[in-house]
Amino acid sequence: MDCIFCGIVRGEVGAQVVREDTDTVAFRDLNPQAPVHVLVIPRQHVASVNDVGENQRAVLGGLIIAARAVAQAEGLAESGYRLVLNAGADAGLTVSHIHLHVLGGRAMRWPPG
Pairing of strands 81-84, 100-104: antiparallel
Catalytic residue chosen out of the listed positions 37, 97, 99, 101:
99
Going through the chain in order, the beta strands assigned E by DSSP cover: 17-20, 24-28, 36-42, 81-84, 100-104
Decide if 45 is catalytic.
no
Helices and strands counted in the chain (H then E): 2, 5
What distance in Å separates the CA atoms of residue 32 and residue 28, rounded to the nearest whole number?
8
Q: Which residues are catalytic?
A: 99
